A and B are shown apart, each in its own frame.
Chain A
């Protein structure tokens, strides 16, 4: 169980740029959770991770792992980095070039202060770690003669060899090429499930986060703006920032026609007078401004003179641009006074300039908070 409460680490403001860091972050992770900190660069996700590792001293807050207090801002108590017994994979992998693969992985055991490990015991545990990451037999290799993917596995083996209670991963896939990244994503998740270790994963890639996590915390400018399971993040984003960040959502601005209860549906009148039926996860009063998020893949592109279906929203528009992407046809349509993106079937034949209508179900239009 990892407990983080009110974690704050703000960096001194240099020049006129926004001060970086993390403010008032709180989360509780049951043992075995795969937890992802997701956000754009500078959002504070790496700072949070470094505070957990002990590489950064928080200004305030509390960090506890099971019954150990790792940091307590109230009393000033802080366990230094080398006594925390945590495993971590760095973005650069940080494989020590003057050691063999075996020595790299054995290092945490050799410098351990909890207990001393015998020669055979070390050999056994390193072999175990190597086979866990699928690198059996690589021990005697010089660390400099490894591919990127192999380095990543060695870094992982080194992080888990002393069976830590917490594993920290700092964008471990960002230095791999695209196809390898897909494979390692699946592999990493499988490994984490297999050894059942609580894992905190930092990434700016929303598809990685969605595919791997039990829980995702989306961060923006130092704060956690939404903490939820991947599906909840995807389908009911807490605000327009999350909606945009999690996958190129279209955002339409209008006003609520009538009062809507929490979780109910109702009409939003857009600026050009067209009304659309939306879901209100948070409820709203009549006449309040509302921002509606609609995902591109939820929008169908139909001919302008085609039939309209009952219960389905329809917006007239002019097709501006259509890009053939193989599996899909990406359309940019001028509708409701702005460019909206929709994804059509690849065999649809629309020419730029054509009049079309955009159709989407009421439950695909979610009203989000404006951040």
Chain B
């Protein structure tokens, strides 16, 4: 058989070529854009990087990014970690509430959360209202500040921390804790000297992961930071892209700095998480974790869970509900009860552009998720089974992890402005950006799914006479279905949740939901924003519940990274 007819090699080549065409150009263009001067005949220059530190206060921006990411990481670890431990390892009441909050927050666009918190902590919000009622002057909380940014970002990430740390605590072997209890340790001593120590590698890895995501976060820095002129790397990129005229050179230079920073952090992350796996003491079948009995403290713990539920979920949703029922933005008050109106909902439902917007978002997200899962099915299988070129496929598919959303937006824009394809300004370019951005997620789901399949299931099919692609079609694909469905739903949710990728790529004719919410906020249409956002959240929460149901049934882990 000649080599190009070997189905193994041929499959790897085709999948590899598609991945390379998708993944490599954005990185190349970005680097190129950062070292080429603007104008008709570009020349090589390092002036963009030099300008970062002179004209653009690059050091201050970087310092802001690090303070912002570090602060919000600590806050979300504290909230999410305590919740995860209480829910997974104790007999505290009301544990189900933490799950409800997580599922719903997975369905809510980040930008909507931010809008709600801006209102809650803002000058007319209930906290400052209450302060003035108690005799204070001015505002107690200044939300347009670094502190406000960290607070809101911390709230945004705590559900994900809860989810991922919960998996760690669930997998922990209760025997180790019981051995400590038998040896005479109290609950607190056991938690401090055994549980936390065992979970420490996982906690550190997660902390670094959240930090990386917070470096690339866009929603909070844009909505909270820009009005108060606190710039971080992502908003600096956005700013130089949206000012007139756009400055691609500075944006690329900032973006390259960010990609470099994220790459270094990712390197340490992969080492940390490999270390974390060594600590995992997962046991076999029929294993049930046994929770700690908190005794009388369990009601205090339940109160903490309830408080988290109220703060992270109920309060923002309530704020949005209030805003959506008011003709203009006003604080919670009895007077406001008289001006309640359904006008905003009527406007949203009757205006055709909202329906079109929703349809656009769903189609792009579903299309991207489908393309990703199809490509990942091949690439993930080949990589997990160490097929020809498996490592290269894996690295190609994972490449976009180094791109924060806003950076990918810039890079994809640069690529498709130059490629003679008429997709700039259409939904296609958003779809392509989604595929690039979320390919690593699809890869994780497939890869982990394949590793759960005993390799002898495939070898048995081979011995029985099935060729390479027949094994994939008849054995691997059907057995991988639960993981594939979970991956598809996750990508669908995340794509609809994030603002950063699409914000630079969407145009008036090709809007998606998260960008529309952002625009409504910028235009000051708070009422319609809240009404549309709530309806959208209800829809996405339905999908999120499907996702959790599927993950549980299929026994797949949840991958946030």
Contacts and interface: CB of A to CB of B under 8 A. Distances in A.
A183 B466 CA distance: 32
Contacts of B184: none
Contacts of B475: 96
A90 B464 CA distance: 12
Contact of B463 (A55, A93, A97): A55
Nearest to A90: B456
A168 B456 CA distance: 14
A107 B460 CA distance: 10
Interface string B454-477: 101101111111110010001100
A336 to B, nearest CB: 46
B466 A94 contact: no
A341 interface: no
Interface residues of B, number: 17
A90 B459 contact: yes
B52 to A, nearest CB: 46
A98 interface: yes
Contacts of B463: 53-55, 81-82, 84, 86-88, 159, 168
B101 interface: no
B465 A55 contact: no
A112 interface: yes
B465 A96 contact: no
Contacts of B479: 96-98
Interface in A152-188: 155, 158-159, 162, 168
Nearest to A108: B464
B478 interface: yes
A359 interface: no
B456 A92 contact: yes
Contacts of A96: 457, 460-461, 475, 479
Nearest to B468: A82
Contact of A82 (B454, B467, B478): B467
A69 interface: no
A94 B465 contact: no
A111 interface: yes
Interface string B439-465: 000000000000000101101111111
Given A92-B454, A98-B479, A113 B465 contact: yes
A358 to B, nearest CB: 45
A54 to B, nearest CB: 8
A90 B461 CA distance: 11
Interface in A139-153: none
A94 B454 contact: yes
Contacts of B464: 82, 107-108, 111, 158, 162
A107 B461 contact: yes
B42 to A, nearest CB: 49
A88 B460 contact: yes
Nearest to B464: A108
Given A88-B460, A94-B459, A111 B466 contact: yes
B115 to A, nearest CB: 46
B254 to A, nearest CB: 44
A83 B454 contact: no
Nearest to A112: B465
A239 interface: no
A162 B465 contact: yes
Contact of B470 (A83, A98, A111): A111
A53 B459 CA distance: 10
A275 interface: no
B462 A81 contact: yes
B481 to A, nearest CB: 8
Nearest to A91: B456
B494 to A, nearest CB: 28
A83 B1 CA distance: 13
A90 B467 contact: no
A40 interface: no
A162 B464 CA distance: 9
B29 to A, nearest CB: 40
A85 interface: yes
Interface string A91-127: 1111011100000000110011100000000000000
Interface in B382-436: none
A166 to B, nearest CB: 11
Nearest to A170: B456
B465 A85 contact: yes
A92 B457 CA distance: 9
A87 B464 CA distance: 7
A349 B464 CA distance: 58
Contacts of B456: 90-94
A107 B466 contact: yes
A111 B464 CA distance: 8
Nearest to A107: B464
Contacts of A53: 459, 463
A86 B454 CA distance: 20
Contacts of A113: 465
A133 B317 CA distance: 63
Most buried by B among A84, A108, A162: A108
Nearest to A168: B463
Nearest to A55: B459
Contacts of B467: 82, 111
Contacts of B461: 96, 107, 111
Nearest to A98: B478
Most buried by A among B454, B466, B475: B466
A327 B70 CA distance: 71
Contacts of B466: 82, 107, 111
B232 to A, nearest CB: 45
A183 B119 CA distance: 75
A304 B463 CA distance: 61
Most buried by B among A87, A92, A96, A112: A96
A220 B467 CA distance: 34
B301 to A, nearest CB: 39
Given A81-B459, A94-B460, A162-B465, 10 more contacts: A55-B462, A82-B467, A86-B463, A90-B459, A93-B456, A96-B457, A108-B465, A111-B461, A111-B467, A162-B464
Interface of B: 454, 456-457, 459-467, 470, 474-475, 478-479
5 contacts: A55-B459, A81-B462, A84-B463, A88-B463, A155-B460
Q: Which 5 A-B pairs have the closest CB atoms?
A: A94-B460, A108-B464, A94-B456, A90-B456, A81-B462
